[in-house]
Amino acid sequence: MSRSNPRVLNTLERAGGFASAQEVYHLMQRAGESIGLTTVYRSLQSLADDKIVDVLRRDDGESIYRLCGDAHHHHLVCKGCGDAIEIPGGAIEKWAKTMAEEHGFRDVGHSAEIYGLCRKC
């Protein structure tokens, strides 16, 4: 079922942090690798479906992807340089569960991100 091109995953690894489909595509171009934008999109989507990469959406609407560990975590994102730090959810894990139960929700997940300016910015 793996529709993902391994070179895409490899490039995302090299990218080190978050990268959009367009960025991955250009990285591969600059590296002299021949690939189509379509395949990059398909691969990233597949990786996301398989929970191998993390998907976030930037304010400008562009989706960004990043390899992520299997542990549940959240992000502290810099509005300036775009750097993202993985952080533990701590107290909000219980908060989410409590809130959901309180309103009779099941099959519950949550998202939480913190935005700010890092020291460098």
Partner DNA sequence: ATGGAAATGAAAATCATTTTCATTTGTGCT
Partner DNA sequence: AGCACAAATGAAAATGATTTTCATTTCCAT
- 35 binds DNA per the rule CB under 7 A: yes
Report the alpha-carbon distance of residue 100 to residue 105 in Å, rounded.
Answer: 5
Nearest-CA neighbor of 25 among 39, 45, 6? 39
One-letter amino acid identity for 111?
S
Compare residues 45 and 110 and give the one whose CB is closer to DNA.
Answer: 45
Compare residues 27 and 118 and give the one whose CB is closer to a copy of itself.
Answer: 118
Report the alpha-carbon distance of residue 121 to residue 65 in Å, rounded.
Answer: 22
- 38 binds DNA per the rule CB under 7 A: yes
User: Ramachandran region of residue 18, left (φ > 0), alpha (ψ -120 to 50) or beta?
Assistant: beta
- The option from DNA, a copy of itself, Zn ion, none interacting with 105 (CB < 5 to 8 A, set by class) reads a copy of itself
Report the alpha-carbon distance of residue 23 to residue 12 in Å, rounded.
Answer: 9
CA dihedral for 90, 93, 98, 100, sign (positive or negative) = positive
Compare residues 11 and 20 and give the one whose CB is closer to DNA.
Answer: 20
- The option from Zn ion, a copy of itself, DNA, none interacting with 81 (CB < 5 to 8 A, set by class) reads Zn ion
The nearest distance, CB 111 to Zn ion, in angstroms, is 8
The nearest distance, CB 44 to DNA, in angstroms, is 8
- The option from a copy of itself, Zn ion, DNA, none interacting with 45 (CB < 5 to 8 A, set by class) reads DNA
